Chain A
Amino acid sequence: MTDATARLRAGTPRYLLVLPALVPLALVFVGSLVRLADLGLRPFRDGRIGTGVTTDNLRRFAEDPYTWRVLGDTVLLGVVCALVTVVIAYPMALALHRLRSGALRALALFLIFSPLLTSVVVRAYGWNVLLGDGGVINQTLREIGLIDSPLRIMYEFPAVVIAMVHVLLPFAIFPLLGVIAQVPRSALEAAYDLGAGRRQVFWRVTFPLTRHGVVLTWQLCFALTISAFATPALLGGGRVQVLSGLVYTNVGAVDWPMAAVQSYALLVLTLLLVGAVNLAFRITGRHSR
């Protein structure tokens, strides 16, 4: 038995451990993709899904300016939400990492996790109470005389961003916390020993060693945002449209072929943008070495 074969055999059981998760995923994901492809190529005329194969739905998708606009808005929302989330989450993760008190740390983790303990609908109505025309923020601003008429926050882009960032924070903080914890203490101590200040240590040691985690977290937040449906639907008031909303609308209208094409577009969009960011990260990483 060669060393290579022995190494392979020794490692095999680890790969087998992945199978219980991989098989159902493959069943659902690949099966759905094939089914969607089949639907996307079916004709749709006079409100009926026909039989046969056509590329009409691809043409309908490509020629509809509204869909492209929604696609653009979806990307914009994804980029902004992911960026704001990472910017807020990074210092929070850093602070959590440095917390010495176990009780305080547990409390902070609970508070960060709490958005995930309530339903998205309840959260959305909660934001309505805060951000609505007659909500807490507008009432307060009115009472202290800063505004005469209510600020239009609700059912606008900022309301969706605020609510999305709130939901995304736990998804960003926990991976970042893991990445920050992996920064070797010896590297930080060496930097301090060599006379670096706190700011220098952060920008020249901590951040470079965690930036891969930052990019991955941004990608995760981006993917979660562009596939989000309930929050943009409830807080966007029809003004903030995302591609998943169009998919939902077309499912309801029994235009399943178009819904299938739009679902594929969402998938391709995610893969393309995540791939592009990965590529850019690798290129910049190579240049900075």
Chain B
Amino acid sequence: MGRNQISRRRLLGAAAAAAALPALNACGGDIDPQPETGAPSGGSGGKEKITIFAFLGNRLADMPKAFAQDYMSRHPNVQIDIYEDSNAVGYPKILAAKQTTPDKPLVNMGFFNSQISAQGDLDGTWNTLDYAALSNAASVSDTFRRPNSNGIGIGADQIGIVYNTKNITTAPTTWADLWSDAHKGKVTLFDYWWQVVFMAAKLNGGSLENMEPGWQIWKAKAGNIRTLVTANPEWQQVLSNGTADITSCWNGTGLQFKADGAPVDYVVPAEGAIAVPVYLQTVQGNTPNQQEICVDIVNEMLSPKWCQMWAETAVQTPANSSVSLPGDLAGLPGFRAENVAKLISVDWATVAKQNTAWRARWDSDVKANI
């Protein structure tokens, strides 16, 4: 009996101590990082392991996957894993890893859109690149270089209008079609699509710094929205089955919907589409060895071969000026010279800074009134 008593006490004591550990840890703020051993982090047969973040869906991971196979065949000491997710869902996880285990980033590098790239600048997520050390960067125009050298562009998508060609016989021509009475109850948007608010503001005397006219318009016209979607398949479904007829959408995504058989098409509004460069970023917390490999990967991805594949599979304008677009892409509205000339540039740093305030307005002025 006596033995049992001691044993139980010990057991309870150990349990209490174990339960208290995370609480104490949380009280102390961030979890201590893993000790740096200097050994390759992969642990997969001595290979250096690199995880690349790629966009989820459609053919957006085709190029990273093909590149990884090619790179690993030429560098047997490197193992590349592809982490597929949307930027919106994946970035908070990267940030969480940065806060909890700063020396063990969730991914070592990846593809990130302009908004997340700007958010990462604020959070100190990216490493600075030395453009002079990237031989292929010489063919990349200033449009795809970032002022702070955090990452470098590989291509650019654009945001315009996608519509159901069965239900809308005359293609939309202007951003104002989205808030026109003609499409009342037939608009679908991705949840928190500030771009339409920006365009409403821009067409009514506002700007990125003064979004008020846009908020007023969408507050009054929130009834135009039939549904807000949260994922690409849902977006494709509501546009295909006629629940909604018109949306503001990425060129690449809209054309992928079309390629999948959805009765939709992408149009560039008369005022121009919004340019959205996609950047290759390397992540803070990489070991020097990992960073060296990442920089090498970034450089190789910028080469004409891989940049062209990215442009074709993601349906984007390539960053490398020596890449020639295939004929079927060059003929698309988004790639025509007159439309490229009209592309609207956005100050993504402002977007990242205003993100919280705009989201709150989106909720209270748009979402609450649909």
Among B34-42, B51-59, B204-212, B358-366, which stretch is in contact with chain A? B358-366
Of the candidates B11, B89, B237, the one whose C-beta lies within 8 Å of that of A252 is B89
- Structural contact, B364 and A47, CB atoms closer than 8 A: no
Question: Which A residues are CB-close (under 8 A) to B243?
Answer: 132-134, 154-155
A217: Cβ under 8 A from any B Cβ? no
Question: Which A residues are CB-close (under 8 A) to B65?
Answer: none
B73: Cβ under 8 A from any A Cβ? no
Of the candidates B11, B18, B227, B242, the one whose C-beta lies within 8 Å of that of A239 is B227
- Structural contact, A23 and B19, CB atoms closer than 8 A: yes
A186: Cβ under 8 A from any B Cβ? no
CB distance from A71 to the nearest CB of B (A): 13
Among B136-144, B317-325, B338-346, B349-357, which stretch is in contact with chain A? B349-357
Among B25-33, B246-254, B296-304, which stretch is in contact with chain A? B25-33
B182: Cβ under 8 A from any A Cβ? no
Question: Which B residues are CB-close (under 8 A) to A246?
Answer: 363
B368: Cβ under 8 A from any A Cβ? yes
- Structural contact, A238 and B227, CB atoms closer than 8 A: yes
Of the candidates A22, A35, A254, A256, the one whose C-beta lies within 8 Å of that of B26 is A35
Question: Which A residues are CB-close (under 8 A) to B89?
Answer: 252
Q: Secondary structure at chain A's binding surface: helix, strand, loop or mixed?
A: helix
- Structural contact, A66 and B8, CB atoms closer than 8 A: no
CA distance A30 to B12 in the complex (A): 17
Of the candidates B12, B26, B230, B360, the one whose C-beta lies within 8 Å of that of A64 is B360
Question: Which B residues are CB-close (under 8 A) to A125?
Answer: 237
Of the candidates A23, A34, A48, the one whose C-beta lies within 8 Å of that of B27 is A34
Of the candidates B92, B95, B225, B241, the one whose C-beta lies within 8 Å of that of A132 is B241
B259: Cβ under 8 A from any A Cβ? no
Of the candidates A23, A64, A128, the one whose C-beta lies within 8 Å of that of B15 is A23
A180: Cβ under 8 A from any B Cβ? no
Question: Which B residues are CB-close (under 8 A) to A65?
Answer: 364
B370: Cβ under 8 A from any A Cβ? yes
Chain A residues 57-108 with CB under 8 Å of chain B are: 64-66, 69
CA distance A44 to B353 in the complex (A): 11
The chain A residue sitting closest to B15, CB to CB, is A23
Q: B82-116: contact bitstring with A at CB < 8 Å (1 yes, 0 no)?
A: 00000011011001000000000000000000000
CA distance A34 to B29 in the complex (A): 10
Question: Which B residues are CB-close (under 8 A) to A251?
Answer: 92
Given contacts A238-B225, A238-B228, contact A253 B242 (CB under 8 A): no
B6: Cβ under 8 A from any A Cβ? no
Total number of A residues with any Cβ neighbor in B under 8 Å: 43
Given contacts A16-B8, A238-B367, contact A133 B241 (CB under 8 A): yes
B23: Cβ under 8 A from any A Cβ? yes
CB distance from B66 to the nearest CB of A (A): 29
Of the candidates B228, B242, B355, B360, the one whose C-beta lies within 8 Å of that of A237 is B228
CA distance A64 to B362 in the complex (A): 13
- Structural contact, B23 and A44, CB atoms closer than 8 A: no
Question: Which B residues are CB-close (under 8 A) to A134?
Answer: 241-243
- Structural contact, A47 and B368, CB atoms closer than 8 A: no
Question: Which B residues are CB-close (under 8 A) to A154?
Answer: 227, 243
Question: Which A residues are CB-close (under 8 A) to B21?
Answer: 27, 31
The chain B residue sitting closest to A25, CB to CB, is B19
- Structural contact, A23 and B18, CB atoms closer than 8 A: yes
B192: Cβ under 8 A from any A Cβ? yes
CB distance from A151 to the nearest CB of B (A): 13
Question: Which B residues are CB-close (under 8 A) to A280?
Answer: none
Question: Which B residues are CB-close (under 8 A) to A239?
Answer: 227-228, 370
Of the candidates B8, B18, B225, B229, the one whose C-beta lies within 8 Å of that of A12 is B8
Residues of A at under 8 Å CB distance from B? Answer: 9, 12, 16, 19, 22-23, 26-28, 30-31, 34-35, 38, 44, 46-48, 64-66, 69, 125, 128, 132-134, 154-155, 233-234, 237-239, 241, 246, 249, 251-256
**Other A-B pairs beyond A34-B26, A47-B352, A238-B367, 16, CB < 8 Å:** A12-B8, A30-B22, A31-B22, A44-B356, A48-B122, A69-B368, A125-B237, A128-B237, A233-B230, A237-B227, A237-B228, A241-B367, A252-B89, A253-B359, A254-B91, A255-B359
* Chain A to chain B: the 6 pairs with minimum beta-carbon distance, closest first: A31-B22, A238-B228, A237-B227, A35-B26, A34-B26, A26-B19
Query: Please, could you name 26 A-B residue pairs with CB atoms under 8 Å apart, sorted by A?
Result: A19-B11, A22-B15, A26-B19, A30-B22, A34-B26, A38-B29, A47-B122, A47-B352, A47-B353, A47-B356, A64-B360, A66-B367, A125-B237, A128-B237, A134-B242, A155-B226, A155-B227, A234-B230, A237-B226, A237-B229, A238-B227, A238-B367, A246-B363, A249-B359, A253-B355, A254-B119
